[in-house]
Amino acid sequence: MSNITLHTLSSMKQAGEKFAVLTAYDACFSHLVSSAGTEVILVGDSLGMVLQGNDSTLPVTVEEMAYHTQAVAKGNQGSLIMADLPFMSYSTPEQAMDSAAALMQAGANMVKLEGGAWLADTISMLAERGIPVCAHLGLTPQTVNKLGGYRVQGRDQETAQQMINDAVLLQDAGASIILLECVPAILAKEITLALDVPVIGIGAGADTDAQVLVLHDMLGITPGRSPKFVKNFMADADSIEAAVQLYVAEVKAGTFPAQEHGFA
């Protein structure tokens, strides 16, 4: 696979080609995931839960994100690397600049942050200085305490319209990608059609431009009950590599996620 860039992803959206995103947190899985044709590797602050055993992503630090981003970059075989800015590492544009610089210098190709319209100035400042941004809307795990738990967002008309407005505003501010988590499929489709930039979904139906899952979830090794939007790809595979290849193939074919993996 030749190196994936933002131009690659934008061209895929325009051509109606779906792309696959998976998390990875180390060089070994980075090599496996990228070699399987996954266009984007997300170094997610989800590592706080799946690697560190925390009950949320909140304890993760910029230093920890940089460490794992550096490891992922060493194993990567051409995927675009997106790294999360962790909780309270971008509360001001200036702080966001410092945090994003640390992750970009560790090997990220872009950063992801969670939030709506209040992030417009921050995204604009980052983009102007050469740092590509993915804006994460819908269920934003870093604000889980304010949201009252891990709940589907945008089910009523007012919050749905606000999410559409925020997505357009953040795109116009300079966001190169929008990620939607746990939103009704019909809303995710509307946002995807409204935007020029690619939209990645997780628990957001099949009509987004791409899908993302946590690697440990799609391999069926995360303890406890899996979220509705997760499919265990190991169930139909004889190796981890085959499971990842199956995930990539189903995302590109549009067969994952199926209706049972989404929300009305």
pLDDT category of residue 219 using cuts at 50, 70 and 90: very high
Q: 173-189 pLDDT, tens per residue?
A: 999 999 999 999 999 99
Q: 128-163 pLDDT, tens per residue?
A: 999 999 999 999 999 988 887 788 999 999 999 999
114 assigned ligand-binding residue:
yes
Of residues 106 and 146, the one with the higher pLDDT is 106
226 assigned ligand-binding residue:
no
- Its pTM stands at 0.97
Q: 28-42 pLDDT, tens per residue?
A: 999 999 999 999 999
User: Does the bond joining 257 to the residue before it have cis omega, within 30 degrees of 0?
Assistant: yes
Separation of alpha carbons 103 and 110, rounded Å:
8
pLDDT category of residue 1 using cuts at 50, 70 and 90: low
Separation of alpha carbons 23 and 29, rounded Å:
9
Q: Which fold has domain 6-261?
A: TIM Barrel (3.20.20)
Separation of alpha carbons 145 and 148, rounded Å:
5
Separation of alpha carbons 249 and 229, rounded Å:
17
pLDDT at 228: 95
* Residue of 181, 241, 250, 260 marked catalytic: 181
Active site residue 181: yes
Total H helices, total E strands in the chain: 11, 8
Question: Rounded to the nearest 10 degrees, what angle do helices 120-128 and 157-173 cross at?
Answer: 20
46 assigned ligand-binding residue:
yes
Q: 46-78 pLDDT, tens per residue?
A: 999 999 999 999 999 999 999 999 999 999 999
213 and 241 Cβ atoms separated by less than 8 Å: no
